Amino acid sequence: MEKINILVTLDKSYIKPLKVMLLSLKETNVDYRFSIWLLHDSIPETEINHFRGFTDKLDYDFHPLKIDATYWQTAPTLKQYPTEMYYRLLCAEYLPADLERIIYLDPDTLILNPIEALWSIDLKGNMIAAASHLGLTGINQTINNVRLRTKSEYFNSGVMLLDLSKMRVKVNKSDILDLIRNHANELLLPDQDILNYLYGNQILSIPEEIWNFDTRDNIVHFAKSRGQVDTNWVIANTSILHFCGRPKPWDKHSINRFTILYQHYQRMLELNYK
C-alpha cells in the first residue's frame, strides 16, 4: 500500500495539538499508511524521541528534519505565526528529492473523514491544491486582491496538497526573501500572503467545506448552503476541520461549536497515549 506523506512545521508548543490531529487522522483513515515529516528548528532531541514513541504506537513512519533558521531571521513573525511557518514554503528544498507530493496540515486541524481523495487529486498542471475561506459575501477575497494586487483567489495555507517536483523548479528562496525585504510591513499573514502573492496563479482551488472547513464560519456555511451544511453534514462529509483564529479548542474559554469534538480526541489521547 502506498504511504501518504504528511508535512507539519511547528515548534514545541504545538506538539500536543499535533498529537491530537494525528490521532484523529489514525482513527478516520484506518485503511491507509502514513509517513509524517516534521520540519522544525528548535525542538529538543528528548522531545523528538518522546514524540517518536507516539508515532510508533500509531504505526506511522516519522521523519524529523531540523532546519537552519538563519535564513529567516529578518522575516516578519508574530507570536501566533512563528518562524516555522515559512518552512512549508521551501519544504521541497528540505525534503528528500524522491518525494513527489505531500499534504501539509496545520496542527490546529482535526481529521473527520478519509483524506485519500485529496492525496490522489489531479492537480491539472498546478503546483498546489488549497481552499479559500470566502465568507458569506466574498468581501475578504476582494480586500486581499486589492491589498496584494492579485487577481486569483486568496488561499488558506493551513491545508495544502503540494507537488514537490514542481515546487523544486518554481519556488525560489531569493524570490521569497526579496518579497519579505521589500514588503514586510504589508504582510498581515506573512507566509500565507507570500504564498498568494508569488504562487496564487499556480494553485488549484478545492472545496473549503470538504478540505479546510474554518470552524469560525459554521453559520456562514449553513446560510450559503440554505441549511444543508449543518453539523450532521459536516460529520459525514467534511474531511478536515480547521480551528483558525483564537481561542483554540484546547483553550479553556473556547465556545466553538466543534470544541466538544476536539476535546473528545484530546481525551482519547490522554487516556490511551500517555
The stretches in the chain having pLDDT less than 70 are 1, 78-81, 134-152
- Give me the architecture of the 3-272 domain, per CATH: Alpha-Beta Complex (3.90)
What is the model's pLDDT at position 136? 40
Whether residue 212 contacts residue 131, with contact meaning beta carbons closer than 8 Å, is answered with: yes
Hey, which residues does 9 pair with through a beta bridge?
A: 39
Which sequence spans correspond to the domains of the chain? 3-272
Question: 25: helix, coil or strand?
Answer: helix
Query: Model confidence over 78-96: pLDDT tens digits?
Result: 666 678 878 999 999 999 9
What is the model's pLDDT at position 253? 87
The three grid cell numbers given for residue 50, joined into one nine-digit string: 518522546
What is the model's pLDDT at position 152? 67
102 in the Ramachandran plot: left (φ > 0), alpha (ψ -120 to 50) or beta? beta
Whether residue 154 contacts residue 197, with contact meaning beta carbons closer than 8 Å, is answered with: no
What is the model's pLDDT at position 29? 97
What is the model's pLDDT at position 151? 60
* Cβ neighbours around 187 below 10 Å, total: 19
What is the model's pLDDT at position 111? 98
Alpha-carbon Rg for the chain in angstroms: 18
What is the model's pLDDT at position 1? 65
What is the model's pLDDT at position 73? 73
Task: Tally helices (H) and strands (E) across the chain.
Answer: 12, 10
